[in-house]
Amino acid sequence: RAIGARRVLVLGDGMLVETVREEITVACARFGGQVRHRQDQAGERFDLVLALTGALPAMPTAADAGHPFLGSDAAIATWQYGWRGAPEALGGEGFVLTRREEVTVVLADEPRGLLYGLFEVVRLGESAFGSGLGAAIHRPAMRLRMINHWDNVDAHPVMGQVERGYAGGSLFWQDGLPRRDLARVQAYGRLLAACGINAATVNNVNVHRAETHLLTDRLGEVAAIARVLRPYGVRVHLSVNFAAPIVLGALATADPLDPAVRDWWASATRRVYEAIPDFGGYVVKADSEGQPGPFAYGRSHAEGADMLADAVAPFGGVVHWRAFVYNHRQDWRDRSTDRARAAYDHFVPLDGRFRDNVIVQVKHGPMDFQVREPVSPVIAAMPATRVAVEVQATQEYTGQQRHICYLGPLWSSVLRFAPHGPDGSTVADIVAGGGGFVAVSNAGADHFWTGHPLAQANLYAAGRLAWQPTADPTALLDEWIGLTFNPATGDDAEPVRRTLHLLMDDSWRTYEQYTAPLGIGFMVRPGHHYGPDVDGYEYTPWGTYHFADRDGVGVDRTRASGTGFTGQYPEPWSQIYESLDDCPDELLLFFHHVGFRHVLHNGSTVIQHIYDTHFAGAERVAEMRQQWHELDGLVDPALFTRVVALLEEQVRSAEEWRDQINTYFFRKSGVPDAKGRPIY
Ligand code: GCW
């Protein structure tokens, strides 16, 4: 409404400028405003001007004083040249937002910048038109802000249409066929642009048979999606099967050094670019959880990645090569294998051997998207390689979009982490210089996009943090609330805002409280990963995670007596994590095996902390259910009812976690709860 009720001038040409025009035209048609493509009458005034700098008059001269420029004479132009003369270029996606003589102005050098400027004005709402708006240059910290879909073409017999999807199926495919109506994909492109995301893979990193064909004979399906996302500045990338030359090309090998294999990829890639000229590149999960890779040919991951990098290089493409490589056929009796070590052990020796257009894509923690993990040591250990950090918006291990779990604070803590200590660069600095930020998508065909309507905030925060990693995650949540629960749609804004902050601000920590304690991770049911099962993985080939016995719990990852994982960190963290005294409480059991009566920095014993947090966490969820009920009648009834049902499940599940974890540790330790609460 803030824009749609106003007089707007849009200056410039290009597909994305057309998108901006279209957005404003629709808003104006709804709320009575007007949109113009040029100034028809001298002196005509506007409330909002969005202009490409190249579409502005050349130099403001005396003659321009009378020029009907933007309805506010040549002031803006003069000012604009002030910016342009400045050393800071706006870049391909940046924009200037300011207010001059009662006109709100967005200027960008490129159409993408104008699109992001539009969404910034949308975010600001009425305050974009108030005198308090200061001039500012906005530029994304990261060039690549990517979403990875784990969507399958054929519904997988175990994983379904979307691997780890909790949002009602794929936006792109259903039962082996592309969705015919791409209107939803178009709306998704708009949503992504509004969050600041500019790249997306559309298919699962586990590339099964049907999906392998997206590279060749089913490429048209990808091109159709790319066509729909393009006007929103979102480039499409594809997850590919490393064995594609065998599966699709009838070659006997996929050896990356074999000339026939290289030729095969070169010509397949050429055809991809013929169909999708702005194609982003490939994402590869190789030698990981059963996916094929270069190891089969005695080649390194650098040799594998570089071969694909050479294929996309002539077209400006990149290869995202995932560092999620570990032995998933371990023997639990073998105490020397530590899954946490694997990515570093495989990749750090290859630093400097990857082409410039290879991005090593690293999960934010050394394990697998647990509710609490240290930051992966790989991120700081490959200075000669472009590194991207990967987070999981889809809530595989954080409540599967049945639980409220706002992940902004978790991702923010990762991005702010300074691997070399407080004076060194942060994770955000490192990835901004190379590979950027990747989030596994939590969106699907669900009416509310994300299954749990409040999980939308995670998608939003992912994009916004990639744009501005220093942003306060609570402030981003506030933006999302403002954009989603809008008085224009009848929602009563203030109580909704208050209650949603109560429910969501600390929901990640609440989830942590009632699930796996003190950084230990997992304890989920094997396979689907929902709900508690303390020993579920303990004796499986996937890794052993907690080592609880009658005396204590935790994994000794020290150099002194454990797996040596602490040695993968630079100082000061290497020392901090190694030391039982210095290791932060929340990661204690990730790094150390301690007795149940070990005293934490917070003064509690490990066992009492487990009891206390589990009672507190489950109690908090019951309170959250109450608080949500206060919004009855204040938000869309369908959304209200959906969240009511999900909170019922969250309460049930939190109690189940509480009781299983508490009972397990009571039985192991024999130590009763100091407060005598029920344990079974
Ligand atoms: O978290 C694990 C998931 C797998 C996933 C894998 C990965 C796509 O359980 O479902 O596979 O990580 O990231 O490759």
ipTM of this complex prediction, to 2 decimal places: 0.99
Q: Which residue is catalytic, options 101, 102, 175, 289?
A: 289
User: Is 75 part of a structural domain of the chain?
Assistant: yes
User: Is 583 part of a structural domain of the chain?
Assistant: no
- The answer on 246 and 280 residing in a single domain is yes
Task: Please state the rounded mean pLDDT for residues 649-671.
Answer: 98
Spell 392-414 as b/e; 16+ CB within 10 A means b: bbbbbbbbbbbbbbbbbbbbbeb
Task: Please state the rounded mean pLDDT for residues 206-218.
Answer: 98
Report whether 402 contacts 649 (CB < 8 A).
yes
Alpha carbon 145 to its chain's center = 8
User: Is 574 part of a structural domain of the chain?
Assistant: no
Q: How far apart are CA 525 and CA 535, in angstroms?
A: 9
The number of domains in the chain is: 3
3-state secondary structure of 54: helix
Q: For residue 465, is pLDDT > 80? A: yes
Q: How far apart are CA 329 and CA 324, in angstroms?
A: 15
User: Is 327 part of a structural domain of the chain?
Assistant: yes
Q: How far apart are CA 6 and CA 496, in angstroms?
A: 27
Q: For residue 226, is pLDDT > 80? A: yes
- The answer on 158 and 56 residing in a single domain is no
Q: Is 206 in the pocket of ligand 1 (CB under 6 A)?
A: yes
Determine which residue's CA is closest to atom 3 belonging to ligand 1.
164
Q: Is 285 in the pocket of ligand 1 (CB under 6 A)?
A: yes
- The answer on 96 and 154 residing in a single domain is no
To 10 degrees, the CA torsion angle through 214, 216, 217, 220? 60
Task: Please state the rounded mean pLDDT for residues 443-464.
Answer: 98
- The answer on 325 and 244 residing in a single domain is yes
pLDDT digits (tens, 9 = 90+) for 88-124: 578 899 998 988 778 898 989 899 999 999 999 999 9
With 0-12 / 13-18 / 19 or more C-beta atoms within 10 angstroms meaning exposed / middle / buried, residue 81 is middle
Alpha helices in 243-318 (DSSP H): 244-247, 259-275, 301-312
- The answer on 158 and 117 residing in a single domain is no
Q: Which of 97, 117, 138 is the last residue of a domain?
A: 138
Q: Count other C-beta atoms under 10 Å from residue 119's C-beta.
A: 17
Q: Which residue is catalytic, options 109, 255, 287, 368?
A: 368
Report whether 216 contacts 248 (CB < 8 A).
yes
Q: For residue 54, is pLDDT > 90? A: no
User: Is 507 part of a structural domain of the chain?
Assistant: no
Report whether 381 contacts 351 (CB < 8 A).
yes
Q: Provide the domain limits for residue 239.
A: 145-484
Determine the atom of ligand 1 nearest the C-alpha atom of 159. 10
Q: Is 188 in the pocket of ligand 1 (CB under 6 A)?
A: no
Determine which residue's CA is closest to atom 11 belonging to ligand 1.
206
| Helix (H), strand (E) at residue 658 | helix 637-669
Q: Is 369 in the pocket of ligand 1 (CB under 6 A)?
A: yes
Ligand 1 centroid, distance to 204 Cα (angstroms): 10
Residue 22 annotated as catalytic: no
- The answer on 159 and 44 residing in a single domain is no
Determine the atom of ligand 1 nearest the C-alpha atom of 440. 13
Q: Is 324 in the pocket of ligand 1 (CB under 6 A)?
A: yes
Of the pLDDT bands very low, low, confident and very high (cuts 50, 70, 90), residue 487 is low
Report whether 393 contacts 407 (CB < 8 A).
yes
Determine the atom of ligand 1 nearest the C-alpha atom of 363. 13
Report whether 250 contacts 303 (CB < 8 A).
no
Q: Is 205 in the pocket of ligand 1 (CB under 6 A)?
A: yes
3-state secondary structure of 523: coil
- The answer on 159 and 133 residing in a single domain is no
Task: Please state the rounded mean pLDDT for residues 319-323.
Answer: 98
- The answer on 454 and 536 residing in a single domain is no
Determine the atom of ligand 1 nearest the C-alpha atom of 285. 14
Q: Which residue is catalytic, options 109, 287, 306, 396?
A: 396
Residue 523, domain CATH: 3.90.1330.10
- The answer on 359 and 276 residing in a single domain is yes
- The answer on 155 and 125 residing in a single domain is no
Q: Which of 111, 138, 165 is the last residue of a domain?
A: 138
- The answer on 325 and 287 residing in a single domain is yes
Q: What integer pLDDT is reported at residue 57 of this predicted model?
A: 63
Cis peptide leading into 259, omega within 30 of 0?
no
Residue 258 annotated as catalytic: no
Q: For residue 207, is pLDDT > 50? A: yes
Determine the atom of ligand 1 nearest the C-alpha atom of 164. 10
Ligand 1 centroid, distance to 676 Cα (angstroms): 40
User: Is 151 part of a structural domain of the chain?
Assistant: yes
pLDDT digits (tens, 9 = 90+) for 553-588: 999 999 999 999 999 999 999 999 999 999 999 999
User: Is 222 part of a structural domain of the chain?
Assistant: yes
Q: Is 323 in the pocket of ligand 1 (CB under 6 A)?
A: no
**Tokens describing residue 116:** 């992001």
Task: Please state the rounded mean pLDDT for residues 126-132.
Answer: 92
- The answer on 206 and 126 residing in a single domain is no
Residue 368 annotated as catalytic: yes
Q: Count other C-beta atoms under 10 Å from residue 29's C-beta.
A: 12
Q: Which residues contact 215 (CB under 8 A, 6 or more apart)?
A: 238, 240, 241, 244, 248, 268, 272
Alpha helices in 1-153 (DSSP H): 15-31, 62-65, 75-85, 111-124
Ligand 1 centroid, distance to 285 Cα (angstroms): 10
Q: For residue 75, is pLDDT > 50? A: no
Q: How far apart are CA 284 and CA 241, in angstroms?
A: 7
Q: Which of 105, 138, 171 is the last residue of a domain?
A: 138
Q: Is 164 in the pocket of ligand 1 (CB under 6 A)?
A: yes
User: Is 567 part of a structural domain of the chain?
Assistant: no
% of the chain exceeding 70 in pLDDT: 94
Determine the atom of ligand 1 nearest the C-alpha atom of 150. 8
Q: What integer pLDDT is reported at residue 38 of this predicted model?
A: 76
Q: Is 368 in the pocket of ligand 1 (CB under 6 A)?
A: yes
Q: For residue 546, is pLDDT > 90? A: yes
Mutational test site, ligand 1, from 159, 161, 163, 438, max ligand atoms within 8 Å of CB = 163
Report whether 303 contacts 257 (CB < 8 A).
yes
Q: Is 364 in the pocket of ligand 1 (CB under 6 A)?
A: no
Q: At what angle do helices 473-484 and 456-467 cross, to 10 degrees?
A: 130
Task: Please state the rounded mean pLDDT for residues 538-551.
Answer: 90
Q: How far apart are CA 171 and CA 142, in angstroms?
A: 26
Residue 111, domain CATH: 3.30.379.10
Ligand 1 centroid, distance to 210 Cα (angstroms): 19
Q: Is 150 in the pocket of ligand 1 (CB under 6 A)?
A: yes
Q: Which residues contact 274 (CB under 8 A, 6 or more apart)?
A: none
Mutational test site, ligand 1, from 201, 205, 289, 320, max ligand atoms within 8 Å of CB = 289
Ligand 1 centroid, distance to 345 Cα (angstroms): 19
Residue 173, domain CATH: 3.20.20.80
The most confident of the ranges 129-133, 224-228, 328-332 is 224-228
Q: How far apart are CA 147 and CA 442, in angstroms?
A: 9
Report whether 485 contacts 494 (CB < 8 A).
no
